Copies of this chain bind each other. A is one copy, B any other.
């Protein structure tokens, strides 16, 4: 896969299909740009009506070209694409970039056409980029198929589903940084080549140091996560996912919880895969610039160096919001700073030079040096007026600022700790700030952006450190369990059911590690009484019928039954209620279950998400889930560490540590239930969703009071298997 992409991304020969002499046509602009930017390979214009275009020989068809064609840029309209791709296939072209829109993004008819071109491409082994893309660029080889000029070259790979956002990011890079791009790819509709494949390519590409992504929707989120998890180990991935609110609108009308849930799933899943998720588009390029230029912050600890109070206070607020610590500096560090700063200076952190740099801005470098030597400090944020001393006070100070810039630049390399700078004078473009950028120190005129940038360096540092704890977790509770589990599912299928009955679902849980359930299925009142006696305590009676899924609504549930009489009466009532509710219902009997001991109610459920496949949800039961939506999500499978974090990250988690003299409750047992769900979902692609509600957590152990498992419609049983 990566091999094929390599041939496309580094194409030696490009055919432009739909080549044109009309300046307003894409088929003209593409060739013009390739020529102007001095593409290193060979260009073959293709147009049956032309002889020569811009001095190049024009071919009537691909077949007329001697030698191989690596890449075809197709600029013709949507309806022509199937035939053009046939020709590409016959010629043995490796990849085709389809610019035209009018496919899946426009509705059903377009979707049919998209499937058609995909089938042609697959048949001929032609990889397809797009359709509905602005094109691609390989900036090392000057292969610019987009028509946008003066794109700065550098080590960031840019993947975007919006041409405008790509233009925004490239413009920002050009105007405000020394950074640039290794590749740009307009990902388009992902009909064939998908996000994860580009990611795998960039992982291997020696010229790419960071990957910047603007995503509106993803065709295969699951494979993307798996790839991102690998890629982010060596190269930072910075991603902005938009379409939250339109997703919201599309989801409106679907059932409660799905809305917030699914976007929350995406965010958590991205972060778990090591991706830096950005919410604010102003921060997207700066974060990529910073992550591709500077070492990560170790230990999540940052120092702030300021030449005025206001900026320092705001920076401290923001960094605290971002979860970064601002530790007090060591006594040694404070003493060293004291020697070079005036009496009014604050030395703890934030450090405020209190005018100590006014006459000599090299004091900034001296302070930075002292601060970065402090082992408690993982990185430095400088805020205020640096870069403007030469403008504001005296021109001679500009030289001192430049000296300080050189010193700080070398300091970053020597200490392997980052410095990020906020400067009020950034837009005046003083030379000292240019020097800082030359050394990789990033500079912003927005205090908010500067704070965000150093905080993502801290997040990256923490992620890399925790990486080793996150080995892929594989449960293997035995093939025997699986074959028995498959039998339960086949039985249900044989009866034409897509829902497991409660006792079947509980049997399935037991096969995968849940403690034995003491539930018994009674078909007569006498049997129910016998079973209830065995329990030696109050029991619950619950209707079992494949035709009545909402048992409570049908009067099919009776709780806390103590005497034989109560049990006998309840049995009869439940059967009668079921008949009244649905006379044709297939009533299999009544499940007799012991009443669970008291404890904390939780809910565990799994669903199958369109983008990410199976996901798991956990929350404390009752109003906390229903009204406060205090739940956590993960894409399955999960590791023991994830199970632990899922429980910890709900706001109500402290309840499990005990309240009002009860508890603490058995979190270890609860984690086992989460892992068991993960194992079950991984074992049976048949399962669409699973609900354990409630799961009561005791001081020792848990009780799974009710369990429901719903199967996918027969025939739809595969999802991308986790690798």
A→B interface (CB under 8 Å): 101, 160-165, 167-168, 171, 175, 214, 216, 240, 242-246, 248, 280-282, 307-311, 313-314, 316-317, 319-321, 344, 384-385, 424, 427, 446-449, 623-624, 626-628, 630, 651-652, 654-655, 659
Q: What are 24 sample pairs from A and B whose C-beta atoms fall under 8 A apart?
A: A162-B308, A162-B310, A162-B311, A162-B313, A163-B308, A164-B424, A168-B310, A171-B424, A175-B427, A242-B310, A242-B317, A244-B320, A244-B321, A245-B317, A245-B321, A246-B313, A246-B316, A280-B448, A281-B314, A623-B655, A627-B652, A627-B659, A628-B628, A628-B630
Q: A344–B175 Cα gap in the complex (Å)? A: 32
Q: How far is the CB of A245 from chain B (nearest CB, A)?
A: 4
Q: A162–B651 Cα gap in the complex (Å)? A: 36
Q: A307–B307 Cα gap in the complex (Å)? A: 42
Q: A281–B316 Cα gap in the complex (Å)? A: 13
For this chain, the copies found in one complex come to 2
- Knowing A162-B308, A308-B163, A627-B654 touch, does A313 contact B101 (C-beta < 8 A)? no
Q: What are the 8 tightest A-B residue pairs by CB atom distance, in nearest-first order?
A: A162-B310, A164-B308, A245-B320, A165-B310, A164-B310, A242-B313, A245-B317, A244-B317
Q: Is the CB of B448 within 8 A of A281?
A: yes
Specify the chain B residue showing the minimal Cβ separation from A383. Answer: B164
Contact of A164 among B165, B311, B628 (CB under 8 A): B311
Q: Is the CB of B311 within 8 A of A165?
A: yes
Q: Is the CB of A652 within 8 A of B630?
A: no
User: Which DSSP category, helix, strand, loop or mixed, fits chain A's interface?
Assistant: helix
Provide the residues of chain B in CB contact with A162, threshold 8 Å: 308-311, 313
- Knowing A101-B344, A628-B628, A628-B651 touch, does A449 contact B282 (C-beta < 8 A)? yes
Q: Is the CB of B385 within 8 A of A164?
A: yes
Provide the residues of chain B in CB contact with A163, threshold 8 Å: 308, 310
Q: A280–B314 Cα gap in the complex (Å)? A: 9
Q: A242–B320 Cα gap in the complex (Å)? A: 12
Provide the residues of chain B in CB contact with A214, threshold 8 Å: 310
- Knowing A282-B447, A623-B652, A627-B655 touch, does A164 contact B384 (C-beta < 8 A)? yes
Q: How far is the CB of A445 from chain B (nearest CB, A)?
A: 9
Q: A243–B281 Cα gap in the complex (Å)? A: 26
Q: How far is the CB of A392 from chain B (nearest CB, A)?
A: 9
Q: A281–B243 Cα gap in the complex (Å)? A: 26
Given contacts A282-B449, A626-B659, 8 further A-B contacts (CB under 8 A): A163-B310, A175-B427, A216-B313, A244-B317, A245-B317, A280-B448, A281-B448, A627-B652
Q: How far is the CB of A369 from chain B (nearest CB, A)?
A: 24
Provide the residues of chain B in CB contact with A427, threshold 8 Å: 175
Q: How far is the CB of A238 from chain B (nearest CB, A)?
A: 15
Provide the residues of chain B in CB contact with A175, threshold 8 Å: 427
Provide the residues of chain B in CB contact with A424, threshold 8 Å: 164, 167-168, 171
Q: A340–B589 Cα gap in the complex (Å)? A: 67
Q: A313–B250 Cα gap in the complex (Å)? A: 14
Q: A627–B448 Cα gap in the complex (Å)? A: 31
Q: A372–B211 Cα gap in the complex (Å)? A: 41
Specify the chain B residue showing the minimal Cβ separation from A384. Answer: B164
Q: How far is the CB of A119 from chain B (nearest CB, A)?
A: 26
Q: A570–B105 Cα gap in the complex (Å)? A: 75
Considering residues A165, A243, A446, A659, which has the most beta carbons from chain B within 10 angstroms of its beta carbon? A165
Q: A651–B449 Cα gap in the complex (Å)? A: 31
Considering residues A175, A242, A248, which has the most beta carbons from chain B within 10 angstroms of its beta carbon? A242
Q: How far is the CB of A173 from chain B (nearest CB, A)?
A: 13
Provide the residues of chain B in CB contact with A385, threshold 8 Å: 164, 167
Provide the residues of chain B in CB contact with A307, threshold 8 Å: 164
- Knowing A308-B164, A627-B659 touch, does A243 contact B313 (C-beta < 8 A)? yes
Considering residues A245, A384, A652, which has the most beta carbons from chain B within 10 angstroms of its beta carbon? A245
Q: How far is the CB of A344 from chain B (nearest CB, A)?
A: 7
Q: A446–B240 Cα gap in the complex (Å)? A: 15
Considering residues A163, A216, A280, A427, which has the most beta carbons from chain B within 10 angstroms of its beta carbon? A280
Q: Is the CB of A282 within 8 A of B282?
A: yes
Q: A161–B242 Cα gap in the complex (Å)? A: 37
Q: A307–B391 Cα gap in the complex (Å)? A: 39
Provide the residues of chain B in CB contact with A320, threshold 8 Å: 244-245, 248
Q: A309–B628 Cα gap in the complex (Å)? A: 34
Q: Is the CB of A310 within 8 A of B627?
A: no
Q: A319–B245 Cα gap in the complex (Å)? A: 9
Specify the chain B residue showing the minimal Cβ separation from A313. Answer: B242
Q: Is the CB of A447 within 8 A of B281?
A: yes
Specify the chain B residue showing the minimal Cβ separation from A446. Answer: B282
Contact of A309 among B164, B167, B626 (CB under 8 A): B164
Q: A164–B353 Cα gap in the complex (Å)? A: 13
Provide the residues of chain B in CB contact with A627, threshold 8 Å: 651-652, 654-655, 659
Q: A242–B317 Cα gap in the complex (Å)? A: 7
Q: Is the CB of A245 within 8 A of B310?
A: no
Considering residues A161, A310, A320, A448, which has the most beta carbons from chain B within 10 angstroms of its beta carbon? A310
Q: A161–B446 Cα gap in the complex (Å)? A: 19
Provide the residues of chain B in CB contact with A449, threshold 8 Å: 282
Specify the chain B residue showing the minimal Cβ separation from A161. Answer: B310
Q: A314–B216 Cα gap in the complex (Å)? A: 9
Q: A652–B629 Cα gap in the complex (Å)? A: 10
Q: A311–B281 Cα gap in the complex (Å)? A: 9
Q: A628–B626 Cα gap in the complex (Å)? A: 15
